[in-house]
């Protein structure tokens, strides 16, 4: 339960002055629904509130505060014209300008003859300085503006004064919280205590306070990162406590498969398999992420892990996100299973009732050693005799619950999840901190580089001509049509149009189409025709499974490449270059390209290293946009920014694991303080993972 000391911060925002029925929705837009949200609302700017002697000589656009006396009011002479008020700052007359004000209100706050502090932006009109809609302070009742004031993110209808007032009131309720950070670490970084840091957040002493490396901000960012990593570490620790299985294989099945392969494992594959085997030997439950670029050979690693389970007398399952992928895995593993002498089956939602009944019976009796399937695998009716290894392919396509549902079909089954989405290390730490990670950072040898080019759509005719020549020589090509503004219908229309045009150019039979709105039979037929070579061009939207494996395809054309994320382009390109023949990728773009767009596409031309591409994508687009961030299920971070605080994320991960090693139940004084931090950051659920919760 949330500790009492935090109650004030979790009070409703409407308890703050100025947050009422009308303004509450506006505050909500700023993410402020509780008092604590106002405390953590970081200013996005700083204004100098030191009162200046005069507006004389002040540059256009400068924000400043002056003291001036009200000289005269000039109500508008015609409708729509502004209400002007002449004031004098002792040196100069200037104008205050108000559009559509209530005259009574202006007369009340700016009576003629009285002095006021005025803060606002200086503009010049007809050579006269003016200040539109200034903030007005009455020296008789209000403090003079002074020092520096925070500027909060703007939202229509909510003035700075209202926000600042609510924030000030929120700060007034802030309890003195115990220190959860390590004292030596704080001292080393020169970071203030939490209470001082939140106070300083709203009391800038100059523009420097906005920088991400401001000690106060950095401390608050680290609080967020640490709480996140601690939450992940708690999940991990709980899993490690839950009983797993000891699966020791004798290697006999693995040896048969390796002997049957025409190639040797890469060093990265060998390392990954060794680590997995070690995980499986321990009584703890494995949860390991196998990350590797397309074509890195993850499937083989997974199969080896599954064979260990079988060697140890158990069963293994591989779950893929789509029917097509499941069938592909099944086909690909068939030869290997044969070599090993293990019984392999497939289970999908499309199986005929009788077949399905048989498969289910064989799984329950243990006749089947390895099963490949779709979501159908974790349905209630599916029982295993002894599931020891659950492998999840393209893990981001499944929820954590689905992953666990599959694994729970065994007693403490080990889990291996695979991802072909290379994500930068900081993001991986942020999102997969609860897993152990193996990376296949080495591709099988002999792959030819893919000739990647950027070509303007205006050279469409040349493209078609070149493509025709290649097709005449027997080549197979993908033609990818982009997402049109996230609309399925328009996507499909674009793909259909393109198919028509290409059929016209190359002949009816040569071109097939696959998209997300097709009847499954139709789509499968297209894929099959392309796979066998009956058709040479596959027009597809990205909705279509990118995991398709047709080694004979050597050309990838991506239309409107500028609309895709780099990671996505990289994935698409990875569909070619799988066989021995030289492959090419044409990034068709609609000109003119902006600098960033050009630079982004240029990265693809320079490298085929998915991790480098992901890093560049992060640099060019920012973490918020990156494919994978949304999937990563990151909590809201208000001060931490993965781009600038990446190193701290790494420290936080180690810190969190160290904390739990020493104090697994968060029982020490610091442990208790860390519990407060977890509640403060709304990680309530993770506290429940504590042993004694």
Interaction between residue 372 and ligand ADP (CB under 6 A): no
DSSP string, 47-68: EE-SEES-STTPPTT-EEEEEE
Taking contact as CB under 6 A, which single stretch among the options 229-237, 263-271, 429-437, 518-526 is the one that binds ligand ADP?
A: 263-271
Least distance (Å) between residue 440 CB and ligand ADP: 7
Which residues touch 152 (CB under 8 Å, ≥6 apart)?
Answer: 30, 41, 43, 44, 160, 163, 164, 167
Contact pick of 265, 362, 493, 501 for ligand ADP (by CB under 6 A): 265
Nearer of residues 397 and 560 to ligand ADP, judged by Cβ? 397
Nearer of residues 153 and 444 to ligand ADP, judged by Cβ? 444
Binders of ligand ADP among 99-128, rule CB under 6 A?
A: none
Helix (H, G, I), strand (E, B) or coil at 215: helix
> Which residue(s) pair with 479 in the sheet?
539, 557
Would you state the structure tokens that stand for residue 578, as one six-digit string?
Answer: 């799988």
Quick one: which of 227, 657, 290, 628 has its CA closest to 431? 628
Interaction between residue 263 and ligand ADP (CB under 6 A): yes
Nearer of residues 103 and 334 to ligand ADP, judged by Cβ? 334
Nearer of residues 219 and 298 to ligand ADP, judged by Cβ? 298
Which residues touch 668 (CB under 8 Å, ≥6 apart)?
Answer: none
Least distance (Å) between residue 49 CB and ligand ADP: 58
Quick one: which of 441, 485, 435 has its CA closest to 633? 435
> Which residue(s) pair with 83 in the sheet?
98
Count of residues near ligand ADP by CB under 6 A = 14
Binders of ligand ADP among 403-422, rule CB under 6 A?
A: 420
**Owner of token pair 């029925």:** 21
Least distance (Å) between residue 542 CB and ligand ADP: 17
DSSP state of 12: B
Question: Beta strand 414-419 with 476-481: parallel, antiparallel or unpaired?
Answer: unpaired
Would you state the structure tokens that stand for residue 98, as one six-digit string?
Answer: 């108000």
Least distance (Å) between residue 293 CB and ligand ADP: 7
Which residues touch 690 (CB under 8 Å, ≥6 apart)?
Answer: 234, 665, 666
Nearer of residues 300 and 618 to ligand ADP, judged by Cβ? 300
Interaction between residue 321 and ligand ADP (CB under 6 A): no
Taking contact as CB under 6 A, which single stretch among the options 81-89, 219-227, 264-272, 358-366 is the one that binds ligand ADP?
A: 264-272
Least distance (Å) between residue 320 CB and ligand ADP: 11
| Cβ–Cβ < 8 Å for 569, 602 | no
Binders of ligand ADP among 32-91, rule CB under 6 A?
A: none
Quick one: which of 458, 494, 464, 453 has its CA closest to 592? 458
Least distance (Å) between residue 299 CB and ligand ADP: 3
Helix (H, G, I), strand (E, B) or coil at 673: helix
Interaction between residue 150 and ligand ADP (CB under 6 A): no
Nearer of residues 295 and 410 to ligand ADP, judged by Cβ? 295
Nearer of residues 393 and 562 to ligand ADP, judged by Cβ? 393
Would you state the structure tokens that stand for residue 70, as one six-digit string?
Answer: 């009200």
Interaction between residue 634 and ligand ADP (CB under 6 A): no
Taking the C-alpha atoms of residue 119 and residue 137, their distance in angstroms, rounded to an integer, is: 8
Interaction between residue 610 and ligand ADP (CB under 6 A): no
Least distance (Å) between residue 456 CB and ligand ADP: 31
Nearer of residues 302 and 640 to ligand ADP, judged by Cβ? 302
Taking contact as CB under 6 A, which single stretch among the options 261-269, 271-279, 538-546, 668-676 is the one that binds ligand ADP?
A: 261-269
DSSP state of 119: E
Taking the C-alpha atoms of residue 48 and residue 64, their distance in angstroms, rounded to an integer, is: 7
Binders of ligand ADP among 270-299, rule CB under 6 A?
A: 292, 294-299
Interaction between residue 536 and ligand ADP (CB under 6 A): no
Nearer of residues 106 and 548 to ligand ADP, judged by Cβ? 548
The CA-atom distances, in angstroms, between 199 and each of 167, 173, 182 are 10, 12, 20
Quick one: which of 543, 556, 550 has its CA closest to 455? 556
Taking the C-alpha atoms of residue 627 and residue 464, their distance in angstroms, rounded to an integer, is: 31
Contact pick of 444, 565, 602, 671 for ligand ADP (by CB under 6 A): 444
Contact pick of 300, 413, 613, 676 for ligand ADP (by CB under 6 A): 300
Quick one: which of 7, 12, 9, 33 has its CA closest to 172? 9
| Cβ–Cβ < 8 Å for 351, 371 | no
Contact pick of 181, 227, 266, 568 for ligand ADP (by CB under 6 A): 266
Nearer of residues 300 and 376 to ligand ADP, judged by Cβ? 300
Nearer of residues 266 and 348 to ligand ADP, judged by Cβ? 266
Q: Which residues bind ligand ADP (CB under 6 A)?
A: 263, 265-266, 269, 292, 294-300, 420, 444
């Amino acid at each position: 339960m949330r500790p009492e000391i935090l109650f004030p911060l979790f009070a409703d925002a409407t308890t703050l002055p100025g947050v009422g029925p009308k303004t509450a929705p506006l505050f909500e837009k700023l993410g402020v629904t509780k008092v604590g949200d106002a405390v953590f609302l970081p200013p996005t700017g700083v204004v100098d509130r030191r009162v200046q002697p005069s507006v004389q000589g002040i540059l256009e656009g400068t924000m400043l505060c002056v003291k001036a006396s009200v000289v005269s009011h000039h109500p508008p002479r015609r409708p729509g014209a502004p209400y002007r008020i002449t004031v004098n700052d002792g040196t100069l007359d200037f104008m205050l300008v108000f559009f559509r004000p209530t005259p009574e209100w202006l007369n009340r706050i700016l009576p003629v003859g009285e002095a006021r502090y005025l803060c606002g932006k200086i503009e010049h009109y007809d050579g006269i300085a003016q200040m539109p809609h200034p903030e007005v302070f009455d020296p008789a009742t209000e403090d003079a503006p002074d020092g520096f004031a925070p500027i909060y993110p703007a939202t229509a209808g909510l003035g700075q004064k209202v926000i600042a007032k609510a924030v000030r009131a929120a700060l007034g309720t802030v309890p003195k919280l115990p220190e959860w950070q390590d004292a030596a670490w704080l001292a080393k970084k020169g970071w203030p205590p939490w209470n001082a840091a939140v106070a300083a957040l709203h009391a800038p002493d100059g523009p420097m306070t906005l920088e991400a490396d401001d000690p106060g901000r950095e401390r608050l960012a680290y609080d967020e990162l640490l709480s996140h990593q601690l939450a992940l570490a708690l999940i991990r620790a709980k899993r490690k406590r839950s009983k797993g299985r000891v699966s020791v294989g004798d290697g006999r099945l693995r040896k048969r498969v390796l002997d049957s392969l025409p190639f040797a494992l890469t060093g990265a594959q060998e390392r990954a398999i060794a680590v997995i085997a070690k995980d499986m030997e321990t009584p703890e439950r494995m949860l390991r992420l196998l990350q590797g670029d397309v074509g890195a050979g993850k499937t083989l690693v997974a199969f080896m892990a599954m064979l260990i389970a079988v060697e140890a007398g158990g069963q293994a399952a591989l779950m893929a996100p789509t029917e097509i992928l499941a069938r592909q895995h099944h086909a690909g593993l068939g030869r290997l299973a044969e070599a090993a002498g293990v019984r392999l089956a497939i289970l999908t939602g499309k199986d005929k009732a009788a077949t399905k009944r048989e498969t289910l019976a064989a799984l329950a009796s243990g006749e089947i050693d390895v099963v490949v399937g779709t979501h159908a695998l974790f349905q209630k009716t599916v029982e295993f005799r002894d599931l020891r290894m659950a492998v999840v392919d393209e893990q981001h396509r499944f929820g954590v619950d689905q992953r666990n549902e599959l694994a729970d079909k065994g007693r403490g089954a080990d889990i291996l999840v695979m991802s072909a989405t290379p994500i930068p290390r900081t993001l991986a730490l942020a999102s997969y901190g609860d897993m152990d990670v193996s990376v296949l950072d080495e591709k099988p040898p002999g792959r030819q580089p893919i000739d990647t080019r950027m070509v303007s759509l205006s050279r469409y005719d040349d493209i078609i001509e070149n493509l025709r020549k290649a097709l005449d020589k027997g080549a197979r090509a993908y033609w990818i049509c982009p997402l049109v503004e996230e609309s399925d219908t328009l996507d499909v229309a674009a793909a259909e149009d393109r198919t028509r045009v290409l059929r016209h150019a190359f002949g009816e039979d040569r071109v097939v189409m696959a998209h997300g709105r097709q009847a499954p039979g139709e789509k499968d037929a297209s894929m099959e025709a392309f796979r066998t070579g009956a058709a040479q061009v596959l027009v597809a939207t990205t909705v279509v499974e990118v995991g398709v494996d047709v080694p004979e395809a050597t050309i990838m054309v991506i239309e409107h490449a500028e609309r895709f994320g780099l990671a996505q382009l990289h994935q698409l390109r990875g569909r070619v270059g799988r066989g021995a023949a030289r492959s090419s990728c044409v990034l068709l773009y609609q000109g003119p390209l902006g600098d960033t767009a050009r630079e982004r596409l240029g990265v693809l031309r320079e490298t085929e290293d998915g991790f480098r591409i992901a890093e560049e994508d992060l640099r060019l687009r920012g973490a918020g946009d990156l494919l994978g961030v949304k999937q990563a299920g990151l909590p809201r971070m208000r001060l931490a920014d993965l781009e600038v605080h990446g190193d701290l994320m790494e420290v936080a991960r180690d810190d969190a694991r160290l904390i739990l090693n020493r104090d697994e139940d968060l029982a020490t004084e610091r442990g208790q303080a860390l519990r407060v931090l977890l509640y403060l950051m709304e990680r309530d659920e993770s506290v429940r993972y504590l042993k004694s919760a």
